[in-house]
Structures are given as structure tokens and as C-alpha cells.
Structure 1
Amino acid sequence: MSATPAGRPDRVAVLCGVGGHLPRHRVGNDELAARLDTDDAWIRTRTGIRFRHLAAPHEATSDLAVAAGRRALANSGTARADAVVVATTTPDRSCPATAPLVAARLGLSGAAAFDIGAVCTGFVYALAAGAGLITSGVADRVLVIGADVYSRIVDPADRQNAVVFGDGAGAVVLRAGHADEPGALGSFDLGSDGDHEDMITVAAGGSRLPADPSRTSHTERHFAMRGKEVYRHALIRMTASARTVLDRSGLTVDDVDRFVPHQANLRILRTVATDLGLPADRCATHVERAGNTGAASIPLALTDDHANRLLRPGHQVLLTAFGGGLTWGSCLLTWPELPPAAAPAHHEQESSP
């Protein structure tokens, strides 16, 4: 493959569509406070979250992924894609992967399709995988989706986590293009540290410990996170990864027009922005209205920012995430000219249970 004078391949992945979807049922802090011995002020102070959306009993991760993927494809101007990559911690089944089903429901049967599991960093990993499919010539168009239904794995009585997590899906479409055009993906940084695998985990349900109620506890069958340690690691890893990407690109924080971190909670993303030297008004914050939606959080934030005209063609956009594994990753891209897109959250009235 030939390369540009700067050493970058002449065929790169270009973002050409976005879309997001949140379930209809929206849960406010007061509803949770009534059963979790807490209050709205406590939740807002520690997380910045006001609402989160929860999937209906009949909705699975694939349902949310299909809705977001369909919107992203429509926004891109075509329903065609050669590959579908789904980042999720909550697949419909442990076997098979969710992506082939999503592809089939979108009319993309025959396309390459696979899942990526990197927890909350999943979308950045999936974006890198999609870009690799394009730069290698395997695909010309790739649909990348982040989708999670955390309400299936979080114990609703868990005061620490039930207030933080929500369900949702976000997607982008990538196409083959050139490094100098708007929408081009730039440098990536990806990393992991498996020595801390138990910091964010669902202990039971895999080959190490099957989810047999006779052999496992209620706690082992649900999501667990050591919050204070996660907070410390997230700040260190997200900040360092973002700086690495800037260094590789020959840019500084002054060149960043929009910072879109994983929407873990408001304290983390604002602290990372501050540590990087970025003002608060350059930081995307979708977490207040959706909670932590795992792999869906970055594409949902991108869709929300685009819908609200906070992203403009030519903007340098910095993405960064941290999740279980431990995993982390960052990416830079130049924002393209896109058709208008609907904001992922559009249900104004709070739902009742």
C-alpha cells in the first residue's frame, strides 16, 4: 500500500453518518431514590446524572443496536455496509455473537459481522477495528455500533451502580476515503491491564464460573465495580491515552475543538478535561440525560452533539474511554459535514414503571 509523505496510508476510514437510540422508559432520580434510600441531590452530586433510560422486558441489545444502526445508515445516505461491528458487554446470547443478527435485521446479510468486548472502551476498540477493515481493503463501508443493556446485569437494589447505568445504543458509519478530507479518523491509542480484571466484573456467567444459582451467589451474577479504584484508574488512563494520541498526531490540547470522553459520570469526564487543560465548554456531556450507557456512550454523545450543532465541519474531535478489563483507548478525528440527525433522547415526559 502506498503512503502519503507523512507516512499515513492513502486509504483511511472516514466517518460519514451517526445515529443513536434510547429506550422509551426514562427513569428520574426521584424514582430511584424512593427505593434505594438516597435522594436526587446525592445522585447528582456524585454522578451528575438526572435521568437514565431502561429497556423494556422484551427489548434486547440487538433491538437497540438495530435502531441506532438504521439511523446511522440513513444519516450516511445509504443502507449499504460491508461489515458490522458491535461493541457490547450485554450480547443477546453468549453464543452466537449479536452482530450477525443485527446485520441481518438491517438487510445486510452476507456482510462480515462480529462483536467486540472491551466494556466501556468497546466503541473505541470497535472504531479501530472498523478503520482497520477499511485501510486493509477488506471493506469499503463499515457500520460500527456500541450497544448495552446494563439493566440486565446491574442489580436494581445496588445503590452504587443502579443510579449510574442506563441502556442505549449509538452508531457511526465509516467509509473509505483520504486522510485530508473531513471525517477522516486519525491516530488511535489502545491499551489494557488484565492484572485488574476483577475491578469491574460480572463474576459468574462465563467458562470460569458458570451462572448456576446452586453454585453462585446473587452478587456474583451481577455487575460489580470498585468505585474508588475505578475512578483513580480512569483519570490516569484516559488522560494519558488522550495525550498519547495528541502527541502521535503532532497536536496539542489547543487544537482540540470538541472533547468526547466516555460518559462514565460527570465528575470523571470533567476532571479528565481539566487535567488535559481543556475548558468545560469543549467537553461533551450527555451523561446527565442517559447515565453511563457503556459502549454506547461515546456514539450517543457524538449524535447528541451533532443534533445540537455543537460539532461543526472541520472540528478536531478527541475521543477517549476507560472500561473493565482494564481497557482504555483514544482516537482523533476531523468532523465532517453531515445531514441533520435526531437527538437520541427525545421523550420529554418521564415514564412510570
Structure 2
Amino acid sequence: MGGIVDFEVVLPSSTVEVEELHAASGVPVADILAITHTASFPALDEDEPAWELAATAGRTVLERTGVDPDAIGLVVYAGSGEWDLPFWSPAAKVADELGIGNAHCYEVTNFCNGAMTAIRTALAELALNGGQYALVLIGDRLSRLVDHEDAESKHLFNFGDAPAAVLLGREGTLLDVLASAARTDPSWADYYSGDVEDDRVLMRRRGRRPGLGDAYLENFPARVHDVLDTLDRRIDDVDWFLVNQGDKGMHEKLLAKLGIPAGKSVFNYHRYGHMGGSDPFLALRDLIGEDRLTPGDLVLVASSGMGFSWGVTALEYRGR
């Protein structure tokens, strides 16, 4: 099937500061820290386009691997669908910036599950058409979609930004993609939606329907077992379990329900906010950089997105 040849994450030049969130919203600092777990985290500057950082990540990956831009047959830009410009293709823009002229360019919208969905889609297309490489770009602008003046939006105050690029190929992989499973519970479709205010799109939670936490604890384990059953593996075979860094408490509950020790996961809450689809790649970057992965390690990546969708993808580390 192929997998991840290389990837890069680029952090923006600005940050969100908890003290600033407190001043804007009136929410006590302690209450905000209970959500963010850090006093500041990376976020796009007001005039910093996400696509430019995604292009920087893509350029770094192509230069590091020596892959010719003409060998890229697919460029997919993943995220929430709220790009730097409306009615516009950031995938095509980045392709043009990188000199990729022979690719099909398009976008995948599945919110924070978008990156892993795009990887699944791109690998399937490579297998279908016999292509050699695909480039998946992660370029959300989550911090710009949160109303920091609204105390009712405090549960979103940890949303930051970290554009990334993931080079996929059929050979020479760093991480093989072994299996993947995903499901959407459409009954949550209207739990969040956006409002346009002062030329900005802002996320709003619609009401206080209970049960989303239970849905996470039902759907993630079910997808984990779907993937492990496909591979004829067991929970004890999982070497690393990575999850979106949206809610530390949920992360801990999920590990407990699955029976996976916390030492087999990565907790970056003290360093970053919730970086959308880039969360697992920040974790992988640390694991690889610190030589904590061994060839043959089974890594499960659990990602979720509004809508609500839950996905689990199994990777096998092959080493550089």
C-alpha cells in the first residue's frame, strides 16, 4: 500500500497567550489553564497565511528527500475548509509555489480528522493509478476561528496552528500505513457550526447536548479494534498510541479504557495547544528525533473531527 516517506511541521511566528485570553474573555486564568495546560502555544499571526507555512514544510520535505516535483502526482490540502481565502484552492497554490506541475490538486475537509483522511485517500489513489508520490498538506487556521472574547467558547481556547506536509510514496517509506478505519456519527452534525462576524468565520457550539465524551469513548476503541482485527493483532502489540491533543482528560480516559499505559502515548499539552491534524506529527517528530521508535514498532494514530468523525490508522516504523 505504501506509506509516509517523510514529513515536516512548521510552527508559526506568533503565539496565543493565556493572559491575553483572560483579558479578552474575562475567564479566570486558572480555568483557561485547565483547558490549555500551558501558558502559551503557537498560533498564526494575523497576517500570516497558513498556506505559506504549509508550502515551507512541503519544500523542506522535497529538498530533504530529493524527490523531483514532477514526480508528485497528487497534492491534497486537508483541514476544516476555512482556508486563507474563500472559494480558492490552497492545494493548487502550494503546488504552484513548489513547482509541482503534473499533479491533481484538491482539498479534503474532515476538520481535525482531515489529515489522516487525506493520507488514506491519497494512498488509495496512488494504488489505483500507479502513481509514485503524493503530497498531503495540513493547513488549518484553527486559532483564527475561535472567538477569544467569548467566555462560552473557552473550551476551544487551546486551538492553535501548525501547518505541515506529509510526503507519501509506494516505496522507501519511513512509516508504512498498514490499515485504517473511520466512522462518522451524523447525529452530531449540528453540534458546531460557524458564524460570519466582522468578515471572520467563528466556531460556535450549538446548545449543550450531553454525551459527546461517551461518543469518543465508544468510537475510538471500536475503531482501534477494527484496525487490530484487520491486522490480526492485539492491544498488547501496540507500541505507541497517538491521539489528537484536544482534551487531556479524554486522552487519559481513552488510554485507561483501552488498557494502554500512558508511557506508550505522547502528551504534548504542556508545550502546544491543539494543533488540529498536525498533533500526531508533532508527536512522531519527537519520537523519531529522540530515537524512541524502533523499526517494526506498531503505532496507532487516533484522530477525530467535528461532524463528528473518528479514525484510527495503523503505522509501522521502518526507520530512516
By the TM > 0.5 criterion, same fold?
yes
For residues 109 and 209 of structure 2, the distance between their equivalents in structure 1, rounded to whole angstroms, comes to 21
Aligned to 1:115: 107
Give me the whole-angstrom Cα distance separating, in 2, the residues matched to 1:99 and 1:285.
Answer: 30
Aligned pair in 2 of structure 1 residues 74, 299: CA closer, same or farther (>3 Å)? Answer: farther
Correspondence 1:175 to 2:169: yes
User: What is the rounded CA distance, in whole Å, between the counterparts of 1:25 and 1:40 in structure 2?
Assistant: 20
In the alignment, structure 1 residue 83 sits paired with structure 2 residue 74: yes
CA distance in 2, matches of 1:76, 1:270: 36
Q: 2:243 aligns with which of 261, 274, 284?
A: 261
Alignment of 1:1-353 (within 5 A): 12-80=1-69, 81-89=72-80, 90-159=82-151, 160-177=154-171, 183-202=175-194, 204=195, 211=196, 221-225=201-205, 229-338=211-320
Q: Is the 8 A contact 1:36 1:157 kept in 2?
A: yes
Gaps of 5+ in 2: none
| Corresponding residue pairs, total | 312
Q: Is contact 1:171-1:300 (8 Å) kept?
A: no
Structure-2 separation of matches of 1:229 and 1:67: 40
Paired position in structure 2 for 1:344: none
Q: Which shifted more, 289-298 or 275-284?
A: 289-298
The letter of the residue matching 2:145 is: I
| Aligned equivalents of 1:66, 1:251: Cα separation in 2 | 37
Give 3-state SS (helix, strand or coil) of 2:245's partner. Answer: coil
The Cα shift of 1:19 comes to 0.6
Counterpart CA distance in 1 for 2:28 and 2:60 is 36
Q: Quote the offset at 1:165 in angstroms.
A: 0.5
Between the aligned partners of 1:75 and 1:262, the Cα distance in structure 2 is 27
CA deviation string 1:143-176 (max 9, x = no partner): 1222211122211213314522001112321111
Shift of 1:189: 0.3
- With structure 1 as the length reference, what TM-score do the two structures score? 0.80
Counterpart in 2 of 1:3? none
Contact 1:261 1:320 in 2 (8 A): yes
Q: Distance in 2 between matches of 1:94 and 1:235?
A: 35
Deviation at 1:222, TM superposition (A): 1.4
For the aligned residue pairs, the C-alpha RMSD in angstroms reads 2.4
Q: Is the 8 A contact 1:18 1:172 kept in 2?
A: yes
Question: Distance between the aligned counterparts of 2:209 and 2:51, measured in 1?
Answer: 29
Find the aligned partners of 1:194 and 1:242 in 2 and give their Cα distance. Answer: 20
- Write the letter of the residue equivalent to 1:169: P
Q: CA deviation at 1:40?
A: 4.5
Amino acid in the other structure paired with 1:53: P
Q: 1:75: how far off? A: 4.1
Q: Identity of paired residues, percent?
A: 25
* TM-score computed with the length of structure 2 as normaliser: 0.88
- Name the CA shift for 1:126/1:94 in 2 (closer, same or farther; >3 Å): same
